[in-house]
A and B are shown apart, each in its own frame.
Chain A
């Protein structure tokens, strides 16, 4: 077998092949196809991973919310959750209210989320999302999203007003307002565009004071011992807590989006794979021409004792070498494309946050993607070279010697 690969290698890397005709172009198109596959899959994987990371950093592995009314007793509720689901590592309660942010004559609707910072830090990964300032909260302090800070040109240390509209119990057509001035202590990149432009984190007591709900709250963020158990934990919690609670993990919160991305990934893979298939056909036609030019060599190899089957293996070996080299170089070029994409993304606004929910993504080259791309490319190259290989092996020695 070694010998057949040696022959395949020596014939393939001749000056005639490397520097002449259509072979280098056919090979280049294969490399480009593989690189395009690697880059597109890396961007898709990176998009999912970035979104997933944002979800788990900002909302935890699982979110439990009481439907229709607020939860009263945190000690009792947290104990119930821990008893129901032993895979829980940490819990943090939260409450939220639709509010209005007012700053220097401008106003905007925001979601004011009240949390207990000590508990929250055990559940969410917000520290790494700080862009300026610090994640410190007391009843006079808040942190805001990056988008909001840009929109209102708010700097750390500045004061803003939060206004909460409250229903009047005896007049369904009216409402009254509660407002409070806060100091912005930190600006965070929450990951998702809509969060960056709408989410404000404050102390739970501030929220409870503004909304006049006493010690009640909306629900809890949960961190699991292993994030991969989230689906099973959600099912368990839903069964045990009943219909009065909404239980969602990071996937469930954006199920439609993740399913769409998954379908898009498959479609993009097939479409870009067409480039590889077309390139493989180019290689096939190049190999036909190559075999025509090598009639004499094939004939002499047969005269020296190579059987048809072995000749076929030599040409299939060439397909394998081309496929493997194309895959390797394509991987490298794909990696460079990813690096280039990240560079451009850092210098220009490539992604519209309002369309894709996030305005910056990581590229993620996964072993699974590389394996599928590499396997597909090599199989396609082998299929493309099979027909010329058979033609080469069927050549009559006498014909080859005459035409050589």
Chain B
């Protein structure tokens, strides 16, 4: 079971990064709404994953995107921040009877409100980090960018959950 889950996450890594580089690189709404779908890989990892491993995975996925985007370090820094905050956000959102050992961050098992809060917090933090590291100064326009991009990425993440993470598989 464990190795199958591992392979599934490796496949997800490749798919999400490929989607990011090949398709979503060219898809920008009104030159303000960016979609950084590769962080879905970090969001969908098992809940009880080792914290240090999670940090390294965050670095690797951010770095891969950086290499293709020629934005050395920016996406890596934002992803590592996301990976660091994820366990804390999960702690905050613990349901009354705690998490099951094999739970993953899944819309069908955890419910809509839980998943939306979880995704919204982490995506906002990540996007804010990316856009502020890009300009290293404050502009109001950046806030618009963050808001629109968070919405865009959030919607895509939810669509992916609904399409490819079926209810049946979640029950297993």
The answer to whether A and B interact is no
